Structure formats: structure tokens, C-alpha cells
């Protein structure tokens, strides 16, 4: 448990690759500890450990392992409200990245009151952001009118983060507010400065994950406000920033593929899509619910313009690329 709680804050920071590697080496021991916690019905110990490691499963996988374990531990009684709230937050995060949006929102809804009552204000700020995120995407994906509630939750999170002086939480809350403006309210150009502020705060915090999320948000804001060259520079920055994090690079390759399609570069679309698809399939990853909105179907668009033969050849060439070759090709031309 001490190892997991010590490593938790490092799994998104600049030295994350080394700590993710260390977690991977420790996994056999951790799995034995988790099996004991479940069999002995030690919910408090198990949830404290598993909640600290969810970013490992998100970035290295398998995500189903983390989700199954958290479900088993959350089914047990005996955990304190704050620890249970953290476990629900971790389960919600893994549910999002596994494509299970309904579970994401339910876990985040259940977590917030527990963490508000826990007395840990930093955890409360995170829970407010998490629920704001889920509410925002309910508005975007489900057509509900929850954008105002999402904004209120993000503003509450930001106020707490500013009071605590926590730049990582401030970056996250700013990014959420930018998404409300850019996505739910249809003003991507207006959201770009908010995302840029989020990026500055993430850089000051030294949080590589938040930096990447902000870079992607800047890229999306530029892309959907018509600055495709600026969006491409942002996506490529994200690829370089997360070069050792293969699942994240894979997601960025899909975003870059969609952008290349909008720019009319259909031969590149086929190769990039093939490379990203092969990497995704090898990792067993599942796109989060927002991905389809951001990516669309660039391969079908390419088939309509350059034909099946050219697309199939490009897909095959992309699938043959290794990780380094795919990054190099993303930067080419």
C-alpha cells in the first residue's frame, strides 16, 4: 500500500515513464496483495492501493484488470467514506477510458458526496472536476442541457484549487471550463486562450499528463476554429511530449489522421490510420466515448477520393510501422 500511495502522484509527472516501468515490475507482488485484500474482505486497504494505481492501468493496461478489481473491492463493506470515494473516482476514470460512459457518470456522481464529507479538499476539488467532466459529456453526447451544471462544478473545483494553490488542479479546472465554452457552447476559438492558460499551469506543476491533455485541447480548439496548421503543430507537440506513452500516442495519431483528412491528405490518412489501428489492437485499447466525435471516419472519406486500392495499400504500410516509425511518419511532410 505504501508503494502504491507513494507512486500515485508520479504516474502523470515528467518522470512518469520510469515510475510506470517500476509499477510494471511490482505488479506480480501487487496482484498477490489485491487477491488477499479481496479474499480477506479488506476493502480499506485494497481500495487505497487500487485507487492509487488507476493511472497505471489506464496507461499500461490492461484496463479490464483495474476495473474488475475495483468492482470487487467496491462490493465489499468496511471502507471509510473518503477511501470509498477515491475508489469510485478511480473506477470512473477507468470506465471512461474503457468506453463505458454510463458507468463513468454513475461512479463520479457517487464519489462526490463521499469526498466532500471526507475533509480532504484536494480530493474534493478532483471529484468536482470529475463530475463536471461527466456532466459536460452528458450534454455533448446525450443532448441534455447540463452545460450550466458542468460549468458550476468546474468553477467550484477551480475555486478550491486556487485556495489550495494546487496548479495541477487549477489546470484541470481551466481545461474543463474551456471545454464547456468550446464544445458545449460552440465557441472553440474563444476556448483556446483558456486551454493555453491550462497548459501554462500544467507546465508549472510539472504534470506531463495534464500538459498533454491541455495541448490536445488547444489543438482541438484551433482545429474546430479553422486553424488546421496550428492544430497539427499542437497534435505533434503532444506526440513528442508523450513519446514513451504508447496508448496516448496512439490516440494522438487518430486525431492527427482526422485532421489530415480535413486537410485533404488522404494517402497520409491511410498510413496513419493503419499505424494507429495496429497499435490500438495490440494494446487492446478501447476509445473513450468522445473519440468518435473528434475522429469521425477519415478512412471512408479517403476511399471515396483515392479509391480502395490506394487506401488498402496505405493501411498495410501503416500497420507494418513500429512505434518509432509511426512517430517519424507523423512528423513527415
Q: Looking at the structure, tell me whether residues 107 and 2 fall in a common domain.
A: yes
236 lies in some domain: no
12 lies in some domain: yes
Query: Can you tell me whether residue 79 is helix, strand or coil?
Result: coil
Q: Looking at the structure, tell me whether residues 8 and 55 fall in a common domain.
A: yes
Q: How far apart are the first and last CA of the chain?
A: 48
Decide if 66 contacts 53 (C-beta within 8 A). Answer: yes
pTM: 0.89
Q: Looking at the structure, tell me whether residues 221 and 265 fall in a common domain.
A: no
CATH code of the domain containing 185: 1.25.40.10
Identify how many contiguous H helices and E strands the chain contains and give both numbers: 19, 0
Residues 328 and 321: their CA atoms lie apart, in Å, by: 10
Final residue of a structural domain among 230, 255, 288: 230
Q: Looking at the structure, tell me whether residues 109 and 160 fall in a common domain.
A: no
240 lies in some domain: no
pLDDT by residue, tens only, the chain of 333 residues? 567 777 777 767 777 778 888 888 888 998 999 999 999 999 999 999 999 998 898 878 788 899 999 999 999 999 999 999 999 999 999 998 888 888 999 999 999 999 999 999 999 999 999 999 999 988 777 766 688 999 999 999 999 999 999 999 999 999 999 999 999 899 999 999 999 999 999 999 999 999 999 999 999 999 999 999 999 999 999 999 988 888 889 989 999 999 999 999 999 999 999 999 998 887 666 566 667 778 999 999 999 999 999 999 999 999 999 999 999 999 997
The predicted-structure confidence for 316-325, as pLDDT tens digits, reads as follows 999 999 999 9
The predicted-structure confidence for 194-219, as pLDDT tens digits, reads as follows 999 999 999 999 999 999 999 999 99
Q: Looking at the structure, tell me whether residues 124 and 220 fall in a common domain.
A: yes
Q: Looking at the structure, tell me whether residues 76 and 128 fall in a common domain.
A: no
CATH code of the domain containing 112: 1.25.40
Residues 186 and 231: their CA atoms lie apart, in Å, by: 17
Decide if 115 contacts 131 (C-beta within 8 A). Answer: no
Residues 303 and 169: their CA atoms lie apart, in Å, by: 43
Exposure string of 279-292, with b = 16+ CB inside 10 Å and e = fewer, is bbeeeebebbbbee
190 lies in some domain: yes
Cα Rg, the chain, nearest whole Å: 20
Residues 81 and 83: their CA atoms lie apart, in Å, by: 6
329 lies in some domain: yes
Q: Looking at the structure, tell me whether residues 295 and 318 fall in a common domain.
A: yes
79 lies in some domain: yes
199 lies in some domain: yes
Q: Looking at the structure, tell me whether residues 179 and 73 fall in a common domain.
A: no
Domain count across the chain: 3
Residues 218 and 121: their CA atoms lie apart, in Å, by: 28
35 lies in some domain: yes
Domain span holding position 85: 1-116
Residues 15 and 202: their CA atoms lie apart, in Å, by: 14
Final residue of a structural domain among 56, 90, 116: 116
Amino acid at each position: 500500500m505504501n508503494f502504491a500511495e507513494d507512486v500515485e502522484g508520479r504516474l502523470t509527472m515528467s518522470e512518469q515513464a520510469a515510475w510506470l516501468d517500476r509499477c510494471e515490475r511490482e505488479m506480480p507482488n501487487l496482484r498477490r496483495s489485491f487477491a488477499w485484500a479481496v479474499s480477506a474482505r479488506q476493502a480499506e486497504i485494497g481500495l487505497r492501493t487500487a485507487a492509487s494505481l488507476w493511472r497505471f492501468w489506464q496507461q499500461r493496461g490492461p484496463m479490464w484488470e483495474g476495473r474488475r478489481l475495483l468492482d470487487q473491492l467496491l462490493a465489499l463493506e468496511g471502507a471509510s467514506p473518503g477511501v470509498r470515494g477515491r475508489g469510485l473516482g478511480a473506477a470512473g476514470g477507468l470506465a471512461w477510458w474503457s468506453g463505458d460512459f454510463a458507468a463513468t457518470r454513475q461512479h463520479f456522481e457517487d464519489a462526490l458526496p463521499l469526498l466532500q464529507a471526507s475533509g480532504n479538499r484536494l480530493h474534493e476539488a478532483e471529484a468536482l472536476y470529475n463530475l463536471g467532466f461527466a456532466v459536460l459529456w452528458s450534454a455533448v453526447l446525450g443532448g441534455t442541457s447540463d452545460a450550466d451544471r458542468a460549468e458550476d462544478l468546474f468553477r467550484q473545483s477551480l475555486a478550491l484549487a486556487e485556495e489550495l494553490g494546487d496548479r495541477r488542479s487549477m489546470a484541470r479546472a481551466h481545461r474543463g471550463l474551456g471545454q464547456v465554452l468550446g464544445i458545449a457552447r460552440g465557441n472553440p476559438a474563444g476556448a483556446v486562450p483558456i486551454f493555453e492558460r491550462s497548459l501554462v499551469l500544467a507546465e508549472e506543476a510539472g504534470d506531463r499528463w495534464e500538459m498533454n491533455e491541455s495541448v490536445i485541447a488547444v489543438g482541438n480548439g484551433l482545429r474546430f476554429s479553422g486553424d488546421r496548421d496550428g492544430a497539427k503543430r499542437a497534435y505533434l507537440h503532444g506526440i513528442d511530449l508523450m513519446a514513451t506513452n504508447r496508448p496516448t500516442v496512439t490516440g494522438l495519431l487518430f486525431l492527427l489522421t482526422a485532421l489530415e483528412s480535413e486537410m485533404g491528405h488522404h494517402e497520409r490518412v491511410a498510413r496513419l490510420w493503419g499505424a494507429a489501428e495496429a497499435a490500438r489492437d495490440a494494446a487492446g485499447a478501447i476509445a473513450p466515448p468522445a473519440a468518435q466525435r473528434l475522429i469521425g471516419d477519415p478512412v471512408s472519406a479517403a476511399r471515396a477520393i483515392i479509391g480502395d486500392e490506394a487506401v488498402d495499400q496505405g493501411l498495410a504500410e501503416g500497420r507494418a510501422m513500429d512505434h518509432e516509425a509511426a512517430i517519424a511518419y507523423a512528423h513527415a511532410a
